[in-house]
């Protein structure tokens, strides 16, 4: 089969960061409008600068401070969803970090999430892609700020803000340091996910599941290093939010053929595919699918199962899931 139908395959994406999903041109334009010089954060060719993961975190944090009003976040939302729709995505859960947006200020956070919601509703009508938010916290900022982000999540939890997660530098802190924040989010009936097992070893996947009691984990490629960890994921019914293209772009693997995504799929662990920070890595969901088809021979049946697994694991309400399930069932 050719790669031509890939954009038309309907996709569900669960692991994407909002500010990392808009083209560099959008952020450059925003910087110009605000008369701020961020040229050092872009390459000579105009792309985002990222030589390694830590520089990526620094660049991301600096540029994430550029949008500074609800109107900016509405524009950013529209731009991100245009990119998603172009890749065939019908539903996405995107991470948005209140520490980046507003230094965890609850009043400002409420205004931002309302602006994002309004932009998302308009985009759903125009573009056919549905958005829900996962409140993201930053592990390397420490437990106090992660708790503040969890408070923002709990105070805005509902049919639009549906989850809570934690990303950032895996080398900082222990998962047990963040249990209070995750318990806060759990009490607010938010879905829980966490970044683990990308730069850190497979034991970090185990610790995340056992100590934070998440139902999803990503990107988690190193889970394959320990069969007992894969068994733990199966036993606890944890879904992996794999981001294979990002893993290659970050230099974790020399190419897609060496990425363990196919091992995870064959292990029986629930698997989904996402792009993480697609604008930083030159990715889209369409390009991810095309690369997976070319490298591992995945056919439409496998991709349909990937989408179904993602929808089953989504944090949105049952009414939204039912509507999306019908779209997946009637897809060509």
Residues with catalytic function: 198
Q: Quote the CA–CA distance of 76 and 27 in Å, as a whole number.
A: 9
CB neighbourhood size of 275 (10 A):
30
Alpha-carbon span 143 to 168, nearest angstrom = 13
The dihedral over CA atoms of 232, 237, 241, 244, expressed in degrees to the nearest 10, equals 50
Q: Strand (E) positions, the chain? A: 11-17, 89-96, 130-138, 161-167, 191-196, 216-219, 239-242, 270-273
> What secondary structure does DSSP assign to 39-82, as a single string?
GGGB-TTSSBP-SSHHHHHHHHHHHHTS--SHHHHHHHHHHHHH
- Residue 229 CB neighbour total at 10 angstroms: 22
The continuous run of DSSP H or E covering 111 comes out as helix 106-127
Distance CA 222, CA 208 (A): 13
Distance CA 199, CA 180 (A): 24
Rounded Cα–Cα distance for residues 314 and 67 (Å)? 27
Instruction: Tell me how far apart the alpha carbons of residues 47 and 263 are, in angstroms, rounded to a whole number.
Output: 32
Distance CA 212, CA 180 (A): 9
- Phi, psi (5° rounding) for residue 38? -115, 25
Distances (CA, A) of 282 to 48, 134, 195, 234, 248: 10, 23, 21, 32, 11
């Amino acid at each position: 089969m050719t790669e031509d139908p890939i954009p038309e395959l309907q996709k569900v994406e669960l692991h994407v960061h909002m500010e990392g999903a808009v083209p560099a041109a959008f952020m450059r334009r925003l910087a110009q409008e605000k008369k701020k010089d961020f040229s050092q954060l872009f390459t000579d060719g105009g792309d985002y600068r990222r030589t390694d993961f830590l520089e990526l975190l620094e660049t991301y944090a600096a540029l994430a401070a550029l949008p500074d009003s609800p109107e900016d976040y509405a524009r950013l939302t529209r731009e991100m969803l245009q990119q998603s729709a172009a890749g065939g995505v019908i539903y996405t859960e995107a991470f948005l970090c209140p520490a980046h947006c507003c230094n965890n200020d609850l009043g400002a956070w409420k205004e931002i999430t309302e602006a994002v919601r309004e932009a998302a509703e308009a985009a759903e009508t125009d573009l056919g892609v549905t958005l829900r938010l996962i409140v993201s916290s930053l592990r390397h900022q420490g437990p106090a700020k992660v708790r503040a982000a969890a408070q923002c999540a709990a105070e805005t939890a509902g049919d639009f803000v549906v989850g809570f997660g934690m990303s950032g530098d895996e080398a900082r802190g222990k998962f047990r340091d963040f249990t209070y924040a995750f318990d806060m989010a759990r009490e607010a009936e938010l879905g829980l996910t966490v970044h683990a097992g990308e730069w850190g070893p497979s034991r970090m996947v185990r610790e995340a599941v056992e100590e934070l009691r998440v139902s999803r984990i990503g990107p988690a490629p190193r889970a394959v290093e320990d069969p007992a960890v894969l068994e733990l994921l199966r036993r606890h019914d944890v879904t992996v939010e794999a981001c294979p293209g990002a893993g290659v772009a970050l230099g974790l693997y020399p190419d897609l053929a060496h990425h363990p995504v196919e091992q995870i799929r064959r292990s029986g662990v629930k698997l989904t595919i996402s792009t993480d920070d697609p604008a930083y890595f030159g990715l889209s969901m369409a390009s991810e699918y095309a690369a997976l088809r070319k490298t591992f021979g995945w056919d439409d049946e496998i991709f349909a199962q990937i989408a179904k697994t993602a929808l089953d694991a989504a944090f949105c309400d049952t009414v939204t899931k039912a509507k999306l399930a019908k779209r997946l069932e009637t897809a060509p």
